[in-house]
Amino acid sequence: MLKNAYTVIILLLLVFYVPIKSEPTADEQKKAVWVEIDTTMVFSNMVSPADAKNRTIAFARECAIKKAMPEEVAITSLLTDYLGETGKHAEEQTAWSIFALSSVGGYIVDEKIQFANMTSFSGEVYTFRVKLRAKIEPTKGERNPAISLDLQLENNYLKDGDELNITARSSVDGYLYLFDFLADNSVLLLFPNHISKNNFIKANTILQIPTKEERQYGVRYRVKSNPESKVTVETIYGVFCVNPIAGIDKFQQLKKHHVTFSAGDESFTQFQRWLANVPLSQRVEKAVQIHIAKK
Nearest to 272 by CA among 68, 128, 71: 68
Check residue 14 and give left, alpha or beta (phi > 0: left; psi -120 to 50: alpha). alpha
The number of CA neighbours under 13 Å toward the Cβ of 276 is: 21
pLDDT tens-place string over residues 44-64: 988 888 889 989 999 999 999
DSSP tag of 222? B
Gap between the Cα atoms of 101 and 283, Å rounded: 16
Mean pLDDT lowest among 14-18, 199-203, 277-281: 14-18
* Assigned CATH class of 142-295: mainly beta
Region of residue 289 (phi > 0: left; psi between -120 and 50: alpha; otherwise: beta): beta
Highest mean pLDDT, choosing among 123-127, 172-176, 284-288:
172-176
pTM (2 d.p.): 0.80
Give dist(CA 116, CA 135) in Å, integer: 18
| Alpha carbons within 13 A on the beta-carbon side of 2 | 0
Could you state, in order of their start, the residue ranges of all structural domains in the chain? 18-140, 142-295
Q: Answer yes or no: are the C-beta atoms of 102 and 263 closer than 8 Å.
A: no
What's the pLDDT at 190? Answer: 94
Taking only Cα atoms into account, the Rg of the chain, rounded to an integer number of angstroms, comes to 24
Q: For 190-248, what is each residue's pLDDT tens digit?
A: 999 999 999 999 999 999 999 999 999 888 899 988 887 888 889 999 999 999 999 99
First to last CA, the chain: 102
